[in-house]
Amino acid sequence: MTRTSLQVSFPGSAGDDLAARLDLPEGEPVAFALFAHCFTCSKDIAAATRISRGLVAQGLGVLRFDFTGLGASGGEFANTTFSSNVEDLVRAAAMLRDRYRAPALLVGHSLGGAAVLAAAPSIPEATAVATIGAPFDPGHITNLFPPHTLAELARVGEAEVELAGRTFRVRRQLLDDANAQNLTETLGGLDRALLVFHSPTDGIVDVDNARRIFEAARHPKSFVSLDGADHLLTRAEDAAYVATVLAAWARRYLEDPRLA
């Protein structure tokens, strides 16, 4: 199936212009999906690109975008929080709703997985949600910061931190907001089909997070083990597997007869 890739944009939570990519199949999409990338990543990270292309091959349209202050999007990363990321997702869904069709499927990788869970109640058209290597507690990102950075944040309120080989300026509000989140109630009232992907050998977000997400949610819910995969799904075959399984699972919950 051929595809078209469109560069689009929309205003984010702080009013900054957010850069997005909308991948479309040939003909009318059977449904639209919204993809949230991992913490400090971008919409063009290999896993996001490969999973999106795999879903497009199954007839879905997929929107992925750079959160505020990341990739090609405007704004300052230092001003963002988990809550602002959730609002970015809600605004991305609103853009799809206004210009195309609201997303029926929400997909999030790593912290993006926690964000789509938090955003789902504000996107009523979404009937299915999938997480990939997601933390149960958004405050998990604290574990990515070395002790001296945490000390500097506590002392002066902002600091520079190196994450995935890049340097970011962060403010204490990022960790304060993340640590204030509690997804237990959200998961208990999710009222969406849920698919949890996680690798038992994930060295960044322990697989116990998947257990906690799964146990907090109500049925219908499913778990898929990504045996041998790393956190970022750097192997092409792992991302392709996620896309194939995700598309097959979503057929049960997306309302287009062409998926039956």
How do residues 191-227 score in pLDDT, each as one tens digit?
999 999 999 999 999 999 999 999 999 999 999 999 9
Q: Kindly provide the residue ranges of all beta strands, DSSP E only, lying in 26-65, ordered along the sequence.
A: 31-36, 60-65
Residue 193, SS3? Answer: strand
Peptide bond into 29 cis (omega under 30): no
Note the pLDDT of residue 165: 76
Length, in residues, of the chain: 260
- Taking the domains of the chain in order of start, what are their residue ranges? 3-138+183-259
Note the pLDDT of residue 259: 47
**Helical axes 147-156 vs 172-179, angle rounded to 10°:** 100
What count of other Cβ atoms lies within 10 Å of the Cβ of residue 128? 24
Q: Residue type for 35, please? A: F
Structure-block tokens of residue 185: 């109630």
d(CA 19, CA 66): 6
Q: What share of the chain is helix, strand, coil (3-state, %, to 5)?
A: 40, 25, 35
Structure-block tokens of residue 246: 């995700």
Q: Identify whether the C-beta of residue 81 lies closer than 8 Å to the C-beta of residue 13.
A: no
d(CA 198, CA 171): 29
Q: Give the global pTM.
A: 0.95
Note the pLDDT of residue 1: 46
- Phi first, then psi, for residue 222 (nearest 5°) are -140, 155
d(CA 56, CA 72): 23
Burial (CB count <10 Å: 0-12, 13-18, 19+), residue 179? middle
CATH code linked to domain 3-138+183-259: 3.40.50.1820
The per-residue b/e assignment along 206-220, b for 16 or more CB within 10 angstroms, e otherwise, is beebbebbbebbeee
Note the pLDDT of residue 255: 65
Which parts of the chain register pLDDT below 70?
A: 1-2, 255-260
d(CA 222, CA 237): 21
d(CA 72, CA 81): 18
